[in-house]
Each structure stands twice: as structure tokens, then as C-alpha cells.
Amino acid sequence: MKKRSLALLLVACLVGTVLSGCGDSSKTETPKDRAAANTINVALPEDLDDSLDPHKTVSALTREEMFNVFEGLVKPTPDGDLVCAVAENYKISEDRKTYTFTIRDGITFHNGQSVTAQDAVWSIERCLPPADPDSAPKDPEIFPVKALGVIEKMEAVDDKTLVITLKEPSNEFLSYLTLAILPRDYTEQDTAPVGTGPFQYVSRQPQVEIVLEKNENYWGTPAQLDKVVYKVIENADTMLMSLQSGAIDLCSHLTGTQVSQLPTGFHVEEGTMNLVNALYLNHAVQPLDDIRVRQALCMGVDKQRIIDLAFDGYGKAIGSSVYPAFTKYFDDSLTNYYTRDVEKARALLAEAGYPDGLTLKTTVPSDKKQYTETAEVLASQLAEIGVTLEIQPVEWETWLEETYYGRNFETTVVGVDASNMTARALLERFVSNFRKNFINYNNAEYDELFRLVQATSDDAEQTRLYKEMARNLTENAANVYIQDLADLMAVRDGLTGVRFYPIFVMDLAGVHYEK
């Protein structure tokens, strides 16, 4: 009995910790307490198990939250523009090959160290791709930014002036300078990150919380909140209890069902997740190396039905690896390139040598409900064309190591985002020799289109070529494209200032309590 009582006490304490802190109930924090202290609690659906070093980060969730901590020479706006950040201004030469940046006067890192042009050079050099494409990067934990390979040389003329010379003009180069500028002599970025953003990192308790505080020395418009606490709440039921109890003030990425169960005192903000949610196919394994099999899978899926069943009708159906927020590159005609046709799908499978159907495994991050539920509906639909989709849930770390890095999978359900606001960020990942080409797509025409994109400086021609790349993926059934997920955010009444971006970030700098 004593053991059982102790277990119940520990469970109660754990729940109390999530909802209000385990301890003296008289010290329970309320929404009014947080409003008076000008702080908020934000729900985090999983712990940030990625490196907090922005040059090593893989997880979209980590980038989303740490957007508030880091900045590049320039940074994105909610409208999809780029504005100066660490750089106060910049000039581009007439031949568009020389960029001269002036570092902001008085700007400092969160540790009080002044930001210099030398820090910018070090930060960019850290992410340069190897000169030899076949050689390994200097630091295997850092994903090299291939687009930075266009740089011929960089020079810190003095502490405030950075000159970057390109091998050739690039319309997209500036967008890659959203790359975080870090202090070159600081060695704790993995666990105690330091940037220049409106919030600064304070502390982290694994599986419990991450704390950010207002950067009092921010160069620009300061954050309006004094503190943000990200509470790790991985269980959906516990999440709802936390909202109902008053423990959480803001929670993004909710499902339609969760929205319908929100307590009074909250309103819903709706944006998009800017994710290409799809059944991704490994082209290096049989039978997925056969276009007929891939096309059959595409024809076996009813996208809108998936959206209705798994997401309560929220979301936008898509047909390729560009989502709608990339307006100039998005081709809506690809959305219905494949429509559900069970008989034609069965015929394609028979033609490919599978008249009795086949079995495929799909690896799904078990802690990401949006992907597990998508996989379940996919399995039901594909069964009707004779495809048995065996769902293999794995932990996120395993998915990263085995599926993404190791490419050891047949199919996987996941959402792919863009690290910056360029079509290149979404489409280069399928170039045959690109390090992040986790589906092993190998198409000579696609590679040539990408080469032509990089060879032209004409914006209209680049746009046309990128659209052709997107069409190539669709026509060759590179993946089974489903949707751009809706981002439903519960916000406590009295809080305002939420802003959505065309990339996967959460900007909390403008969030504030209404007076």
C-alpha cells in the first residue's frame, strides 16, 4: 500500500508540475499573476532534443522557437520581405557581385560582447560548403549551406565593414544571409545559445521548460514581454488540461478537435504551418524506384479526405514541394494533377508486376500526432488499391538518425519546411547530389533545371525554372503530396500581436497584453 500511495503521490506531483508547479498551492501561478509580471507560458509539444546551435539545428520546431534568439545580417518579415538586422545597411555593386555590409553601431550579443564584422565572417565561413563537393564538411554536425558556395571571398575591412564578393550574381544570395551571426570565440552554443535577437536564452530543464527573457539591450524595437517560458507538454490530453487550468497562455499547432474543446477565455489565430506534408518515398529501394508504383500511390490517395479526417478540414491541399505562401513559385494546377482512381492505381501496380498488391513500411515520428494520424488515413486509403502500409512509429531522434540522415526507410510521413524564404530552400533538397536529398531522388532533367536556375540572374526566368522543377517532381510522382498544414493557435484573451510568417517560425517579439 505504501508503494502504491507513493506512486500516486508522484503522479499527482508530476501533473501538478505541468499545470501549476508541484508544491504549496498558495504559490500557484495564475494567468493574472503572469499578466502582472508581463510574462507568458507557451506550450511546447515536445522537448527541443536538437542542438540549440542554429548552424546545427535540424528540427523545424527548434528553429521555430529559437527564431526569437538569433538574427542574421538581414531577417525576414511577415510579408516575406528582408530587412536589415545585424547589418545596419548594405550596398550591392552594379555588377551585383559585391555586397558591402555595415554592422550596426552599438549592437551586442546577449553576453554583452560587441558584434563585429569578424564575427559575421566567422559565422558565414562556418557554414560554407566544401570546395570539393565530394569531400566531407569541416564540422560534420553543421549542415553546410550549399548556396553560400557562390562566395568567392569575404573580408572584414574593419570591425564595422564586411565585404562579400561573389563568383557570379545571385538573385537569392541575400536571403541566405538570414543565417545567424554568432560570437566567434563562444563555445557553448549547443546548450547555452547566444545571439542578438529580441529575446535571450536563460535556462533549460529537459522535458520540463525553456526560459527566454527580454533582451534589454536589443538594437531595435524591444520585445514587449519580459519573459517567455516554453512548457514541454507532449501529451495532448495534458495540453488541454493545461489550457483549461490556466497554466498555458499560448499554444500553436492545435488540431481542429483541440480547438473545438478550448475553454472560454481563449481565441484562435489561424495561419499556415508552411510545411509540405507528404508521404515521402525512398527512390533507392524497390519497388519505389518504379514510377508506376509511385503514380499508383498518388492515385490511391484522396487528399481532401485526409484533411477532413485527420485535420477536421483545416489545411490546403498541395501537389508538389512548394507551398502556397511562396506565391510566385506556387502552381495550384499541380494540386489535382493526380486524383483518386482506385482502378487505374490497381492497373498501374499490375503493370509494374504487383497484380496482387504489395506491402510497404512507413516510418513515422511517434510523438508528432499530425504525422501519425496522416499515416493512419493513408493506410486505410491505400488498402483499397492493394497496398498494405505498415506503420512503424519511432522516436524523433531515431527518425532523424535512421530516416533523415541514414536514409534507411521505404516511406515516411513528415512535413518539410523551408529554412529561408526561397524556392531553392524547398527544391534543392531533391537535386541528386545534395546532402539533404533524403529520398534519393535522381532525375537528370531535374538536376539540369537546377543548374539553369543558378546560371541565370533573371528573376522571371528563375521563377519559370523553379516552377518547372516543381512540376518535374509532380509528374514523376517523387512523393505523395498531401497538404500544407493549418497552424491553429490558441491565444489567451487579452493577449495580442501574434504574427505569422511564410516560413516556420514563431515570432513572440510583438506579443503583448492589451492595456
pLDDT higher than 70, residue 3: no
Amino acid type, 161: T
Instruction: Please give the model's pTM, rounded to 2 decimal places.
Output: 0.73
- Which phi and psi angles does 151 have, rounded to 5°? -75, 130
Residue 377: the pLDDT is: 97
Cβ atoms 42, 467 nearer than 8 A: no
Type and span of the H or E element at 15: helix 2-19
Residues 6 or more apart in contact with residue 100 via CB below 8 angstroms: 90, 91, 93, 161, 162, 163, 164
Q: Which amino acid belongs to residue 248?
A: I
Task: Classify burial at 167, counting beta carbons within 10 Å of its beta carbon; exposed 0-12, middle 13-18, buried 19 or more.
Answer: exposed
- Backbone dihedral angles phi then psi of residue 300, each to the nearest 5 degrees: -90, 0
Task: Say which residue the cell 500557484 belongs to.
Answer: 28
Coil vs helix vs strand at 20: coil
pLDDT at 455 over 60: yes
Q: Would you state the pLDDT for residue 28?
A: 75
**Residue 286, SS3?**
coil
- Looking from the CA of 438 toward its CB, the CA atoms found within 13 Å total 21
pLDDT tens per residue across span 161-211: 999 999 988 888 999 999 999 999 899 999 999 999 999 999 999 999 999
Cα dihedral sign, 404-407-412-416: positive
Res. 19: pLDDT tops 70: no
Pair type for strands 250-254 and 486-492: antiparallel
Task: Give the model confidence (pLDDT) of 387-442 as tens digits.
Answer: 999 999 999 889 999 999 999 999 999 999 876 777 888 899 999 998 889 999 99
Provide the pLDDT for residue 211: 97
327 is written with which cell numbers? 506565391
Cell of 339: 486524383
